[in-house]
Structure formats: structure tokens, C-alpha cells
Structure 1
Amino acid sequence: MFADDRAAIFLPERFPLRWASAWGEDEYGLWMTLELAEAQQRFRWIAPGSFRMASPKDEPERYDDEVPHEVTLSEGYWLADTACTQALWQAVAGRNPSRFQDQPGLPVEQVSWDDVQGFLGELNRRLPGLEARLPSEAEWEYACRAGTKTPFSFGENITAEQVNYHGNYPYAGGANGVYRQKTVPVGSLPANPWGLYEMHGNVWEWCADGYGDYPTTPQVDPRGAASGDARVLRGGSWLSHGRYVRSACRHRSGPGRHDALIGFRLALGPGKPAGRQSPA
């Protein structure tokens, strides 16, 4: 059933992705929902576009590896509006490795990059045609920024009411805030302008890319280093100081690392949004 009458304008009579249990359009754009057992995950359509990746040289508390460069993403993709929950992980993997297990709507954590590859393989086996994957580092930052150029999608600074981070270590002279000392349920803090939740803080999120130096020239659909022993993490966590939850901040770790700071967010595609496809 459509979320509202406007959705019928954008979606085909027969929905081409058979795994979707619901779809529609709202103030943020097109969305679709995956349902597996009792777990659900909503995805947002992220349209193609260009942006300036990394941080300008005058951004406070930036790091040297945040070399600014122009990036164009030539194809759109679907991105989960939240980090993967413990409920969805358990529905696929049959276990819950997380440290914080107060409720199934918390993000799954203590999952390595290698663990996530196994999860993706099983999810794609169960739902043929889904093409679930991790986002590239460029796709992640593009979606996190959601058209903004400031250190955060919320502006020049953040509050603990917007982001789950170590509020005793605010960003660039900001006010101290609460330090929760744990994850919060996904979707419980404000969304960014594209309807994506907790892109800043809560858990670090694995990207598909290997970590490497940024280029200085414009890039189209960039992918990170093809070799090396470190994978990219983005977004910061509940334990992170304010500088680490900026849109441009990069972190890296070996693909076998597990801890309660790290989760991930699903991407699908690349592909075209349902409203621009011919009926299957």
C-alpha cells in the first residue's frame, strides 16, 4: 500500500523489486522497505550528483587525510535510513554478537568487516536480486552531507540532542552535552536533510573501500584502495569526541576488528529508483 496518494505518481503499477514489502514517497523523497521475519529496514533513494568530498582547509579540528576533491556519483543507489539493527542481523545470521542488547532496535555492533561480508552473502542468497552491499566511502559521505557543506549535516556544530557522541568532548568550542555511554535505538535522533538517521555518531559504519590517500583531481564513482589491510570506517560512535563525528572524518581498521563501537549500514544497487523504471 502506498504511503500516500502522491506515491502512485512516481511508482510503477507493478513494483520491480520483489523483496520490497512497502514503498512510497514523503518529504524526503522515495523510500522502500525490506521485511525479513519480524525485522524491517527502510531504504532511501539517493539520486546521482556531485559534491566536494572531505573538508576545506579552514575546517576546525580536521585531519590531514581529508584532502578536498570533487566527486561525481553517476548512478543513484538505495541506502538504509538507519544502521543495521540487531533484529535484522539476527534474522539473517541467527545470532546477536552485540554488547548492548537492551532492545532489538539498537544497532548491531561487534561485527567486523569480514562478518558483514558473510551477512551480505546470506541476505542476498535469501532475497535474489536484492544486491545488498556496503556503500563506498564516497557514497557514504555524499549521503551524510545530504547537500550540506558544513562540518555536520546539522550545521557548523552539534548538540547531544542531535548526535550520540561523547558529550564531554564537544566540537570546536561547543557546549558540553550528555554522554550516554552506549548506543541508542536507530531512528531515535533527528534525521539529516535526506531522511537518514544517525549518520553522525552512535556506531562507526564500515564502508566497502580499502583505506588509501585521496586524489586531488576530480573523480567519478571513486572506490578506495584495492589492496592493503585496512578498511574505511565513517561517522563516529557513542564514544567519539566531536571532531570524529564530522561528515569528513575518516577512520580505518583491519577487516577483522570487532568492538562495541562498530556497525554498518546497507546499500543496494547501483540502480534506478522505482519511479524511473518500466514495470517488470
Structure 2
Amino acid sequence: ANEKDSFDDERPQHQVTVPPFFMGKYPVTQAQWRAVASRTDLKVEKDLDPDPSYFKDPPKPPFLRGASDSPPFEGGARGGSPTRWDRPVEQVNWYDAIEFCARLSKLTVREYRLPSEAEWEYACRAGTTTAFHFGETITGELANYNASKTYADEPKGEYREETTPVGQFSPNAFGLYDMHGNVWEWCADTWHDNYDGAPRDGSVWTENGYDNHSSLRGGSWYIDPFNCRSASRYDDYRRDYSGDYGFRVVCGAGRTL
């Protein structure tokens, strides 16, 4: 509640009990997006651009240590240097992300969806209570954000000005990568200005919110460090998209369609 650079929309601080769920190890990549978005036979509500992302060039070396040894997704790059397809998909709005989840659910006969805000923060923190899952501050060697700005007493770092391939930085204690920075991640909830009346069971909160707005979490490559904190919240119109808006998927433990 007294965290440095925290905002009123992060309050009141409250405890939530979150039922078991699975979350994507990485934000959805450009390759994963293309594999699903190009399947017009799976269409549920809307058409999807198979290649919406702004960042289409090969990622810049050097590639950081601490990256995953395994390929970031099945059917994608197998060894060698990361490609543009290993970058997170961006320039997708909330409705695009919902359609992706619906198509993926049809394809796999398993219920995939966007996380609730409570699920997202639980997954990001991975049992921590500090500002970031790796501690009280952040550096450019731990995440992709605007590291030319500082949060605490850490040295300034590189502002990369672009997305980085998923899995380039060390994961949190739950084995999740890129929870801080890289791309903002859409959540399922309707936007609320604070947590007054928020569910305590980790469910998606839709009542009495801003119907055409949803929340984004985690910060991005473009964002100052205080907006990359585990508790930090942002919102935008569901129809809006940006070169730093992405998402990751969740599914309930043991749930099938």
C-alpha cells in the first residue's frame, strides 16, 4: 500500500484466493499468433490479421544470458538465433485477443482465455510482495523497459526501443517470462478505477466498470520502470492497439470443452 510510485487505482490492498490455473510461459509470439489467426476456418466472431505487429525486423544481438535453453514455442524456431517470429505479437486490441483465445479453444478443445487481473498479478508476483518479482527494483538486464529512467538507486541502462524475443530474461519463481516489460498484457476484466468491491475469488470482474475499457498489466519496452511494477495497472479502450500491447493466455486446471 505504501509502495514507491504506487497509485490510487492499486488500492485498497486486499487478499484474493485464486483457484488453480495454467498460464502461458511467454506472451503470445508472432509465430503463435500467425498459426491461429491465419486459420479462417476457426473464425468465431471476427477476422484477424495474421501479421499485425509493428516490429517485423530480426531482433538485434547481442542476446542476453539467462534466456531459456528450449525453444520458446512448439513449431517455431528450433535452435540458432531468435527471429522476428520469436518476438511477442503486438498491435492487437482486446477483441483480437478474445478472438485468438476462442479460436485456440476450438482448435485444441480446451478452454483458453485472457487472465483476470487477479490471476495476472498472482502469476507475476509468484509469491513475492516486493515491487517486482525479482526484488525492490529493476534493471535493464532483468527486463525490457525504458531503462534510461530509474525506479530506485539502480544504474541507468539501455532503452532498447523495441520488443525483444520472448524468454530472453530470467523467469520468475513460477517459470514465467517477460511478466515485467516487453509488452503490456491485456486482461479480461472491465476497467475499474480502484479495487473497491473487487471479487476475492480471483474471478474476472465485469460489474459496474467501464464497459468499453479493459486493463493492461506488466508495462512494456516503451514504459518507465514504475509502470512495470507487479501492482501497476493501466487501461485503454478495448478497440485500441499499440506497438506495445500484447497478451498471454490462461486455461483452468483440468478444463476441457
TM class by shorter chain equals 0.7 to 0.9
TM-score normalised according to structure 1 size:
0.73
Cross-structure match for 1:77: 21
Q: Secondary structure at the match of 2:176?
A: coil
Q: Which amino acid aligns with 1:70?
A: Q
Q: Aligned partners of 1:70, 1:217: CA distance in 2, in Å?
A: 10
Q: Aligned partners of 1:188, 1:222: CA distance in 2, in Å?
A: 31
CA contact (8 A) 1:181 1:239 kept: yes
CA contact (8 A) 1:206 1:263 kept: yes
CA contact (8 A) 2:198 2:205 kept: no
Q: Aligned partners of 1:134, 1:72: CA distance in 2, in Å?
A: 18
Q: Which runs of 5+ in 2 are unaligned?
A: 39-49, 59-83
Q: Aligned partners of 2:101, 2:203: CA distance in 1, in Å?
A: 21
Q: Secondary structure at the match of 1:144?
A: helix
Cross-structure match for 2:44: none
Report which structure shows greater RCO (CA 8 Å, sep ≥6): 2
Do structure 1's residue 148 and structure 2's residue 128 form an aligned pair? yes
Q: Aligned partners of 1:166, 1:221: CA distance in 2, in Å?
A: 30
Q: Aligned partners of 2:88, 2:204: CA distance in 1, in Å?
A: 26
- Structure 1 runs (4+) greater than 6 angstroms displaced: none
2:141 to 140, 161, 164: 161
Q: Which amino acid aligns with 2:106?
A: R
CA contact (8 A) 1:191 1:198 kept: yes
Q: Aligned partners of 2:197, 2:102: CA distance in 1, in Å?
A: 34
Q: How many residues are matched?
A: 214
2:53 to 83, 98, 111: 98
**Deviation for aligned residue 1:215:** 2.5
Cross-structure match for 2:90: 109
**Deviation for aligned residue 1:154:** 0.3
Q: How do 1:156-235 residues align onto structure 2 when only pairs under 5 Å count?
A: 156-212=136-192, 213-215=194-196, 219-226=200-207, 227-228=209-210, 229-235=212-218
Do structure 1's residue 248 and structure 2's residue 237 form an aligned pair? no
CA contact (8 A) 1:202 1:238 kept: yes
Give 1 or 2: higher strand fraction: 1
Q: Which amino acid aligns with 1:60?
A: K
Q: Secondary structure at the match of 1:202?
A: coil
Q: Report the identity percentage.
A: 43
TM-score normalised according to structure 2 size:
0.80
Q: Which runs of 5+ in 1 are unaligned?
A: 1-55, 274-280
Distance 1:164 1:218, change over 3 A: same
Per-residue deviation, residues 56-114 of structure 1 (Å, max 9, x unmatched):
2x2111111111111111x2001001000000000011211001123111000000001
**Deviation for aligned residue 1:210:** 0.7
CA contact (8 A) 1:71 1:222 kept: no
Q: Aligned partners of 2:198, 2:114: CA distance in 1, in Å?
A: 25
Provide the aligned C-alpha RMSD in A: 1.5
